[in-house]
Structure 1
Amino acid sequence: MDLTPSAEQEALITATADWCADNMPLEQARQRPIALWQELEAMGWTAMTAPDMGLDHATEAVVFAELGRHLAPVGLVPSAVAARWSPHAGKAALALLDGSLEGGMLRVFDPHGAVQALGLAGHLAATTELPRDLDGGPSLDPTASLARLDPAPPFEAIADPRAALHLQLLAAAFALGCADAARDMAAAYAKVREQFERPIGWFQAIKHICADMAVRCAVARSQLYYAACALDAGADDAAFHIASAKLLADQAALENGRANIQVHGGIGMTDEAYPHLCLKRAHLLTFIAPARRDILLGDAA
């Protein structure tokens, strides 16, 4: 299995990175333009996973990792899954459901303009319609608003188990991108922040932190690419590889987020600095289709 991105995939990564740098700078992460979602739709990212597009999961993974590196709206993940597996068109918010298909509390992230919410109910992906005027307030992740519905409206499960795997794969890609963002931020700061008339990156302790961050990203990226290819190939162990990718990507995002704040020192956790955004996004992503213990240990039926 060749895990090297193709020339077409490399071109997509470059185009995505260039557009995101111009239109989703990190300094706007807390207050992004209202028209951003329409611009994302115009670029095709909200519907790139639709069946008629014919795009494989490996290409989706590399593009979503780049979107995650710029802390793109978290609603892109459920919207992409809904575009492939749900008959309903339009934006899908991220659903975190307490309980089964009915009852419990529903937490809806990035609800503005969404016509439905998508998340996991048990081991299957499921959708529910949302009120048209639903809007949210502050959440754990400052880049994603949160609305609560209690009790939760009834959900409709997507019978195909690949929908849940797709959700987990794209969430892992977003987590990898988050880890990449923290790594890049720490390395850039280590080059310009000086102590004892030297950039702090000159000191071995900082070098080791940044090197560990790079290794975490490389390991998580390799597993993500393999998992995406396994899903494309319809491999029997695709669920195991996707769960492994999610676990490694979540760990990389969390540990790199903490290390990034450590490299920045005291300012890293302040509101005017950006390192804390990566860590908070990493924490939110851990709640999206987390890796199941029974699958990782080979106990799933």
Structure 2
Amino acid sequence: MMNLAPSDEQQGIAAASADFLTGQLPLTRLRELAAAADGDAVDDATWRRCADLGWLALSLSEEAGGLGLGLAEEVMLFQELGRHLAPGPFRSTVLGARIAARGGDTSLATAIGEGGRRVGMRLGELVIDTRPGDLLLELDEKGGRLYDVQAVEPVEGIDPGTRFGRATTAAQVAQLDDSLLMARARVLVGAELIGITEAVRDMSAEYARTRVQFGKPIGAFQAVKHRCADMAVAAYMTRAQLFQAALLVEAASGDADFHAACAYLLAVQGAKKSTADNIQNHGGIGYTWEHDAHLYLKRAVLLEHVLETSRATHRAVLAPARHEF
């Protein structure tokens, strides 16, 4: 029987990550970073502190400078990164470190894990969170590759906490042929999306308790409380699927790709609807720039497209002739 409940150690990772992000990268800080058009999405000092906490090397082997943990522990971290809308190339850097380590370049993996080299990500014709001198991750169903970045032309994007651009790359520096690398990426992005769903669920529930109309809290009205309930259900059912997918991907199970794709699709659907409903629950103020609700919606839209087309993910769901549960 598979135990999907997080261990005390895993819950400790989530709690410590939440404490750090609340103190060091609150949404007010995200807005400050976003306002600096010529700056990075995350400052070097904060990035280094995240690396010192081991966030970039949780699943790297100790020989590569990592902590030797697994995908389940990374899921706990990435849920908090999503919940706090943390800026910075966390997902691509973690995947890039894995490509370097599994590809045999231990020194490069160590440099990435220690925060010395950041890894941006290609997104169609654009790149995200990429600077000149960084590495660039290209990911597909067959595996992943890392390239040196020569130049980046900034492009305006939808998510204020993410930097977009067009990049000129140089030589390929690492490659990993692993069909489960995409499944691993889907699990990590799915974890971010669950964090977003849970954040807007809590935001809506709190507002529904305190906002009064017609002499009673708006949470007493069916239209509002049903939307809040739908958010809670979306987070609950996606969490179970995601934890199972993380364990199966880590074990290289034959149906890991199917379960990772299912978790990712559930997470996308839950986050998109929940972030939109959260704006609706907040009424007129939910549509303003000053309110944080739109930041969650924009990150959810980005994460829907950050890996590949939804058609490719649906192909992974439909591929197996038979499923074992």
Task: Give yes or no for the alignment of 1:212 onto 2:230.
Answer: yes
Q: What amino acid sits opposite 2:57 in the alignment?
A: A
Q: What amino acid sits opposite 1:77 in the alignment?
A: R
Q: Give the match for residue 314 of structure 2.
A: 293
Q: Give the match for residue 7 of structure 2.
A: 6
Matches within 5 A, 1:1-301: 1-32=2-33, 34=43, 35-52=45-62, 53-86=67-100, 87=105, 88=108, 89=112, 90-97=117-124, 105=125, 107-112=126-131, 115-121=134-140, 123-131=142-150, 134=152, 136-149=154-167, 157-290=175-308, 292-298=313-319
Return closer, same or farther for 1:135/1:11 CA change in 2, 3 Å cut-off.
Answer: farther
Q: Would the aligned equivalents of 2:209 and 2:219 in 1 still touch at CA under 8 Å?
A: yes
Q: Give the match for residue 102 of structure 1.
A: none
> How far 1:181 sits from its partner (Å)?
1.5
Return closer, same or farther for 1:280/1:247 CA change in 2, 3 Å cut-off.
Answer: same
Q: Would the aligned equivalents of 1:78 and 1:119 in 2 still touch at CA under 8 Å?
A: no
Return closer, same or farther for 1:198/1:28 CA change in 2, 3 Å cut-off.
Answer: farther
Aligned residue for 2:123, secondary structure, equals strand
Return closer, same or farther for 1:96/1:262 CA change in 2, 3 Å cut-off.
Answer: same
Q: Give the match for residue 101 of structure 1.
A: none
CA distance in 2, matches of 1:67, 1:272: 21
CA distance in 2, matches of 1:250, 1:223: 13
CA distance in 1, matches of 2:153, 2:21: 25
Q: Would the aligned equivalents of 2:58 and 2:70 in 1 still touch at CA under 8 Å?
A: no
Q: Unaligned 5+ residue runs, structure 1?
A: 98-104
Query: Residue by residue, what CA displacement relative to the aligned partner does 1:61-82 show, whole Å, maximum 9, x if unpaired?
Result: 1221112110112510010111
Percent identity between matched residues is: 36
Q: Give the match for residue 36 of structure 2.
A: none
TM-score, normalised via structure 1 length:
0.89
Aligned residue for 1:208, secondary structure, equals helix
Query: Residue by residue, what CA displacement relative to the aligned partner does 1:26-61 show, whole Å, maximum 9, x if unpaired?
Result: 222232362322222222212223232211111111
Q: What amino acid sits opposite 1:67 in the alignment?
A: L
CA distance in 1, matches of 2:32, 2:20: 18
Measured on the aligned residues, the alpha-carbon RMSD in Å equals 2.1
CA distance in 2, matches of 1:18, 1:234: 32
Q: What amino acid sits opposite 1:43 in the alignment?
A: L
Indicate the structure whose relative CO is greater, using CA pairs within 8 Å and at least 6 residues apart. 1
TM-score, normalised via structure 2 length:
0.83
CA distance in 1, matches of 2:199, 2:68: 29
Count of residues in correspondence between the two structures = 290
Q: Would the aligned equivalents of 1:93 and 1:114 in 2 still touch at CA under 8 Å?
A: no
Query: Residue by residue, what CA displacement relative to the aligned partner does 1:207-240 show, whole Å, maximum 9, x if unpaired?
Result: 1110100100011111110000111222100000
Aligned residue for 1:29, secondary structure, equals helix
Q: Would the aligned equivalents of 1:49 and 1:81 in 2 still touch at CA under 8 Å?
A: no
